[in-house]
Structure 1
């Protein structure tokens, strides 16, 4: 075949059985990452076959052939794939930015460097060599693609399929170098999206075992490898000009900003990483997804995207979100120490912030508060894996300013009764001192709760979960004392306790349109600390996964839920916050009719509380989405949300939110992206009994961004952004703010 050299022929004889340990040989000759696999080192590499289909089939023979090879030198692990295809013209491959090629054909490597079945690094590559990387956390059941490592890949397509070549520097990994013979967990994976998305692997996955990372193969042969103590220094320069004005006839006010900053990343030992950032620029180069905040009583959540906070962020995770670093708005500097040794892992974060932002929680609402003062912030996390069954941990956070502080300390643990059932427990206490004038800066429930300035509270969570091939079930109770606060996190409730139990059954049909069908549901009840009921709910969901990468779900909810308080200064519920009966249902549809087009439609209809007037209304919500890639370089995404609330007397509001993103990828390193987010809310002022509202609110936010990424830390960005608004009565959109910006950073590996 065109992609094989003479060395390739030799590799066939080195193939391993799928479930055998993979012993990686060492080589001394150089390897160039170009996708050609013509270096002598590949002639002695270990070959592994991805011969097992783990999804939708259940450990059945793979429908296509995939070869993988592994070899290593003293500081790098090399992996290569040959993905054969009976119809190469059907291969789905697009040029895109990092972490945005999901849905393409791709191959990948999962590595558990501690071989404990708890955490795994994931590296996936499409046929163009576009990289996807992430961290999979078995304890939380989540994957975070926000983590970005510096590694190297190349891909080449041909008339037999495609080839991918990968170099994974060991400096990226935390591992225990006290062991003379390294043994890592490994899984080699291929995604083959055709009539279905086939997941192919070198190892079987037992669906009767709840964890997946504990089923990975083992990789040996790394005995002579040593992790680099490499120092990475990344200086950065940011230039920005912001202009804004109070109205269309007002003069522009201009502000120029030049920031010099730098990051340091140092592997003190193979299992300990030190990060330092000085005068960082944490401006977003990717706009947050648009969200509607109409007719909601709780603060919106925005995920973290900033590199300094994302490095090893999984080590800080707990059952509740006790650490949410988006609260840190304008850091002067920050340090972080993360790592582990044997069964122990630890993480420490320290930041000085020019602003102090935190969430003010409640049981019927929450809001964001901001103090115009500097604060020192600290987070500590420790975990001990006592055995394969038991892990315990501790967490502490602190925020301190002149007349304000919030400290938390907690312990948590997980016990696995068997391969299908586990229990988790979290217990946290807090000590808080609010500024005396905080209540004057807030309103509603948050003002009432802020009048008590000295607070001492606690929070606990207990859960038991069972997952098997067909049956799953869980029971959970979460309690939050009325004086508990977690100001470095995102715990939006207080004076609140919720019990929930649920489960479901899953079928795996061997024939027909769907290959997976699940019927499930749960019931829950929420009360305040005084025992007054806040909510009681039951829900069901029937879902199926099938051909054309399709997902279909029909769901329904019936509940009793409180409206807003009639007397905000009184925190009592009974006689103060009316209870409403709500019943609503929805339909979710997702499918990919062809390789360049993905479609979604989400529908919701039924009862919804009108919180502005404390009455029951009828909500209709339609949320279509499409992603179209007419060319390998071009991506067009449109996400639109239409929401309408009908009440006695007419239509209270109609809200539209459109999020349009156009991206042209010149190659794997260069892109040009246009983002436009448009909000349009029409209200009937005559239907608002207690508030004065504008009949129309329209906001258009746009951003044009050019980006060059040599790697995740060596980047250049240049862009323009502006915001246009109307005044509530005039249809014209007036430009009231605009900015131009540029950022350059370069990662020096010393």
Structure 2
């Protein structure tokens, strides 16, 4: 305690005074709104006060910022406009590549603005603008301490390179902010600046330290708004985005027969904010042909379904009100058990209303789904999958109330497939912020369903089955250590067809601890942060007579001591020894696995902007064969960004991303029992800030050698997809896309091809 008090005293002496908050300025009479061109030369900027009290957060906190940054805020009739000036002693080293929206990462120079219009520092909307004017935006959730870049806001931004740095202008429409109609707390804000050199530096405009539970713990009130909220809270906003898609398809079955079709379809998205606290969203016949392909995953050596992130715009409005979406430290995304938007495969239409008050919030949606996606029915050792019937209806409602440091929520979910087939879920979740260092979270969900999936994947009507899912978790964080402890129980018949449930019929306890050692030097290398880690987990079965599973069987038992440290170039290195045990099937043997995992990520330079690799090697479990063998599982990702030679054209930039996955386990004879591979190559040619050409090629392959002793036949399954798309984009309002999608699948060699043209206009 003495050392912590001494550290706080030194911080108070080293950092600038924080008595003054960022202050917004109203336009003076006769002043025009700033033109969003990145230049801070408009008359409004000459009168707006500048906030320059920035402090370093990375690589080491509690230090003054070495490079000066200022932020100014101007209030117009319908927007907040931020002007940010970033001085740099070495402007030639500023990294400002052209990139896709939502790809402004730590390898680039950028500034970001976090706004919490509710004022409670539970969630924040953020916009990140690179020195090239590229935008990334999304939502930040304090409960998970995580960013979600999927939501997009209709902001306007521009950057200007200068002889001594760069400047950014960001226009944030009030219509894109979500705040209460009355009794709201003062709006809060924080600006961050990223400087990617040998030692990546992140400076923030608030007295934030790494001891905080989350990144927005120190958001400061934005002064100078006066009666702005009262003036605009009754103001309504309407956005209408019609879209037209022309499509030509050709499907070739395994027997060579073909089906061809040509189709023109009209769709639309409608958003109405009648006043500050309400948002009404509607979608009709949405088309998602321009959304990127999901990244391929290694799925050959697991019997559990894998989740994928949401990318479709309709589901992203006020995503924080639906519930948290970030996986916890055990890797399990428990929040998806309540609502998983990817369970909605192909909506014909949808309607959603969201309300946000000073101490409460709620959302409700109802839609009709054309179907075709998976239906999941989980067990303790595997997930059964069927195919959704067509023409189902989905409903979801969640409301949340904040009572001081305690937040309580209730939810209802319903999926109706017709013909008496359906699933309902009711439940509650909550969070308790027990001081500055501790947080408790949990949920209780109750389900009822008449839809079952047999061993062959066929859907069937069953007598009503009921189940529950209960979870409680504790998180602690201070200057010395971090801890995450979770306990949960999922009954055998718990199901949610609007959610993601990959495992049931089990009880699990998990703990993950970090001992924070601070700055160290290892073999002459300075480590900015270093930690010793320990993960413990045990999962046991509950009795499940339907699947013939006895109670008390250990599904997995993990003991994983490890380490993590960070160094120059935003480099992180981690690893652990896995002294684990796994059981592949009910009544089977509990196998002892012994593995070593090592991981590495870094921003090596301006061209090779990101490198990631993780390898686990040792005695691994072959799930289908129910035995142990020497094996490996590895993933690698590399990103390159580079300007193209001037003779090809001025201002051309190339993005290249490569992802690879590899897994295998040897059989008793030393030969490969199976091999699992995945690869994705993404190439983006930026013709200008508005025009791009994107190519994605990805493939997965799983091969297994025939094994009579294990009763396994030869397998060779392959999937390949290619997507080529040209896109002209002006913000979120005007998008034209022209593309080609091709896919093939083996065994059977089924193939499909799609040509499409899509035009979206915003009003």
Scaled by the length of structure 1, the TM-score of the pair is: 0.90
Q: 1:84 to 1:266 in 2, by over 3 A?
A: same
Q: Give the alignment partner of residue 607 of structure 1, picking from 614, 619, 638.
A: 619
What residue is the counterpart of 2:40 in the other structure?
A: 37
- Structure 1 window deviating more from structure 2 (57-66 vs 129-138): it is 57-66
What residue is the counterpart of 2:309 in the other structure?
A: 303
In the alignment, the residues of structure 2 paired with residue 664 and residue 50 of structure 1 have an alpha-carbon distance, to the nearest angstrom, of 39
What residue is the counterpart of 2:545 in the other structure?
A: none
What residue is the counterpart of 1:58 in the other structure?
A: 61
In the alignment, the residues of structure 2 paired with residue 20 and residue 250 of structure 1 have an alpha-carbon distance, to the nearest angstrom, of 72
What residue is the counterpart of 1:116 in the other structure?
A: 120
What residue is the counterpart of 1:731 in the other structure?
A: none
**Correspondence list, 1:77-156, <5 A:** 77-102=80-105, 103-156=107-160
Q: Give the alignment partner of residue 540 of structure 2, picking from 512, 524, 527.
A: 527
8 Å CA contact 2:59, 2:201 repeated in 1 = yes
- Structure 1 window deviating more from structure 2 (458-467 vs 50-59): it is 50-59
Per-residue CA distance 1:571-614 (angstroms, 9 max, x = gap): xx3xx232211111111111222122122222110122222222
What residue is the counterpart of 2:335 in the other structure?
A: 320
Q: Indicate the SS of the match to 1:25.
A: strand
What residue is the counterpart of 1:203 in the other structure?
A: 206
What residue is the counterpart of 2:20 in the other structure?
A: 20
8 Å CA contact 1:481, 1:495 repeated in 2 = yes
Deviation at 1:280, TM superposition (A): 1.6
8 Å CA contact 1:20, 1:217 repeated in 2 = no
In the alignment, the residues of structure 1 paired with residue 341 and residue 467 of structure 2 have an alpha-carbon distance, to the nearest angstrom, of 22
Q: 1:186 to 1:718 in 2, by over 3 A?
A: same
Per-residue CA distance 1:529-552 (angstroms, 9 max, x = gap): 233322221112201111011111
In the alignment, the residues of structure 2 paired with residue 610 and residue 37 of structure 1 have an alpha-carbon distance, to the nearest angstrom, of 61
8 Å CA contact 1:134, 1:147 repeated in 2 = yes
What residue is the counterpart of 1:468 in the other structure?
A: 478
In the alignment, the residues of structure 2 paired with residue 526 and residue 654 of structure 1 have an alpha-carbon distance, to the nearest angstrom, of 27
Q: Which consecutive unaligned segments of at least 5 residues does structure 2 have?
A: 1-15, 325-333, 543-550, 644-651
Q: Indicate the SS of the match to 2:217.
A: helix
What residue is the counterpart of 2:13 in the other structure?
A: none
8 Å CA contact 1:241, 1:256 repeated in 2 = yes
What residue is the counterpart of 1:718 in the other structure?
A: 738
Q: Indicate the SS of the match to 1:101.
A: coil
Q: Indicate the SS of the match to 1:513.
A: strand
Q: 1:51 to 1:432 in 2, by over 3 A?
A: same
In the alignment, the residues of structure 2 paired with residue 715 and residue 306 of structure 1 have an alpha-carbon distance, to the nearest angstrom, of 15
In the alignment, the residues of structure 1 paired with residue 747 and residue 429 of structure 2 have an alpha-carbon distance, to the nearest angstrom, of 51
Q: Give the alignment partner of residue 371 of structure 1, picking from 372, 388, 405.
A: 388
In the alignment, the residues of structure 2 paired with residue 73 and residue 182 of structure 1 have an alpha-carbon distance, to the nearest angstrom, of 21
What residue is the counterpart of 2:680 in the other structure?
A: 659
Deviation at 1:513, TM superposition (A): 2.2
Q: Give the alignment partner of residue 561 of structure 2, picking from 524, 527, 540.
A: 540
Per-residue CA distance 1:161-218 (angstroms, 9 max, x = gap): 1111110000001112325x97211101100110121110111113333233231111
In the alignment, the residues of structure 2 paired with residue 551 and residue 126 of structure 1 have an alpha-carbon distance, to the nearest angstrom, of 23
Per-residue CA distance 1:621-674 (angstroms, 9 max, x = gap): 333321111216111111112222111122112333221111111222211011
Instruction: Please state if 1:506 is matched with 2:526.
Output: no
Q: Indicate the SS of the match to 1:685.
A: coil
Instruction: Please state if 1:494 is matched with 2:504.
Output: yes
- Structure 1 window deviating more from structure 2 (590-599 vs 146-155): it is 590-599
Q: Give the alignment partner of residue 468 of structure 2, picking from 449, 458, 462.
A: 458
Deviation at 1:724, TM superposition (A): 4.2
8 Å CA contact 1:584, 1:605 repeated in 2 = yes
Instruction: Please state if 1:231 is matched with 2:243.
Output: no
In the alignment, the residues of structure 1 paired with residue 571 and residue 297 of structure 2 have an alpha-carbon distance, to the nearest angstrom, of 25
What residue is the counterpart of 1:646 in the other structure?
A: 666
**Correspondence list, 1:671-682, <5 A:** 671-682=692-703
Deviation at 1:421, TM superposition (A): 1.1
**Correspondence list, 1:370-519, <5 A:** 370-387=387-404, 389-402=405-418, 403-434=420-451, 438-439=453-454, 441-442=456-457, 452-509=462-519, 512-519=525-532
Deviation at 1:685, TM superposition (A): 2.3
What residue is the counterpart of 2:190 in the other structure?
A: 187
Instruction: Please state if 1:635 is matched with 2:645.
Output: no
8 Å CA contact 1:18, 1:49 repeated in 2 = no
In the alignment, the residues of structure 1 paired with residue 263 and residue 226 of structure 2 have an alpha-carbon distance, to the nearest angstrom, of 51
Deviation at 1:141, TM superposition (A): 2.6
Scaled by the length of structure 2, the TM-score of the pair is: 0.89
- Structure 1 window deviating more from structure 2 (423-432 vs 280-289): it is 280-289
Q: Give the alignment partner of residue 253 of structure 2, picking from 246, 250, 260.
A: 246
Q: 1:440 to 1:295 in 2, by over 3 A?
A: closer
Q: 1:622 to 1:439 in 2, by over 3 A?
A: closer
Q: 1:524 to 1:270 in 2, by over 3 A?
A: same
In the alignment, the residues of structure 1 paired with residue 313 and residue 536 of structure 2 have an alpha-carbon distance, to the nearest angstrom, of 39
- Structure 1 window deviating more from structure 2 (490-499 vs 594-603): it is 594-603
Q: Which consecutive unaligned segments of at least 5 residues does structure 1 have?
A: 1-15, 565-572, 729-733
In the alignment, the residues of structure 2 paired with residue 427 and residue 182 of structure 1 have an alpha-carbon distance, to the nearest angstrom, of 30
Q: Indicate the SS of the match to 1:214.
A: coil
In the alignment, the residues of structure 2 paired with residue 738 and residue 477 of structure 1 have an alpha-carbon distance, to the nearest angstrom, of 47
Q: Give the alignment partner of residue 274 of structure 2, picking from 242, 265, 268.
A: 268
Per-residue CA distance 1:410-458 (angstroms, 9 max, x = gap): 11222222110121221111111126xx427528xxx9xx785311121
8 Å CA contact 1:18, 1:48 repeated in 2 = no
Q: 1:665 to 1:361 in 2, by over 3 A?
A: same
In the alignment, the residues of structure 2 paired with residue 671 and residue 688 of structure 1 have an alpha-carbon distance, to the nearest angstrom, of 53
Equivalent residue pairs, number = 707
Q: CA RMSD in A?
A: 2.1
Deviation at 1:31, TM superposition (A): 1.4
Q: 1:411 to 1:623 in 2, by over 3 A?
A: closer
8 Å CA contact 1:554, 1:588 repeated in 2 = yes
Q: Give the alignment partner of residue 289 of structure 1, picking from 268, 289, 295.
A: 295
What residue is the counterpart of 1:175 in the other structure?
A: 179
Q: 1:671 to 1:117 in 2, by over 3 A?
A: same
8 Å CA contact 1:211, 1:419 repeated in 2 = no
8 Å CA contact 2:443, 2:471 repeated in 1 = yes
Q: Give the alignment partner of residue 73 of structure 1, picking from 61, 73, 76.
A: 76
Q: Give the alignment partner of residue 626 of structure 1, picking from 631, 638, 645.
A: 638
Instruction: Please state if 1:744 is matched with 2:759.
Output: yes
In the alignment, the residues of structure 1 paired with residue 541 and residue 746 of structure 2 have an alpha-carbon distance, to the nearest angstrom, of 41
In the alignment, the residues of structure 1 paired with residue 295 and residue 279 of structure 2 have an alpha-carbon distance, to the nearest angstrom, of 32
Per-residue CA distance 1:142-179 (angstroms, 9 max, x = gap): 21100000010111112211111110000001112325
In the alignment, the residues of structure 1 paired with residue 425 and residue 747 of structure 2 have an alpha-carbon distance, to the nearest angstrom, of 44
In the alignment, the residues of structure 2 paired with residue 647 and residue 492 of structure 1 have an alpha-carbon distance, to the nearest angstrom, of 28
In the alignment, the residues of structure 1 paired with residue 747 and residue 449 of structure 2 have an alpha-carbon distance, to the nearest angstrom, of 40
- Structure 1 window deviating more from structure 2 (306-315 vs 595-604): it is 595-604
What residue is the counterpart of 1:569 in the other structure?
A: none
In the alignment, the residues of structure 1 paired with residue 148 and residue 376 of structure 2 have an alpha-carbon distance, to the nearest angstrom, of 23
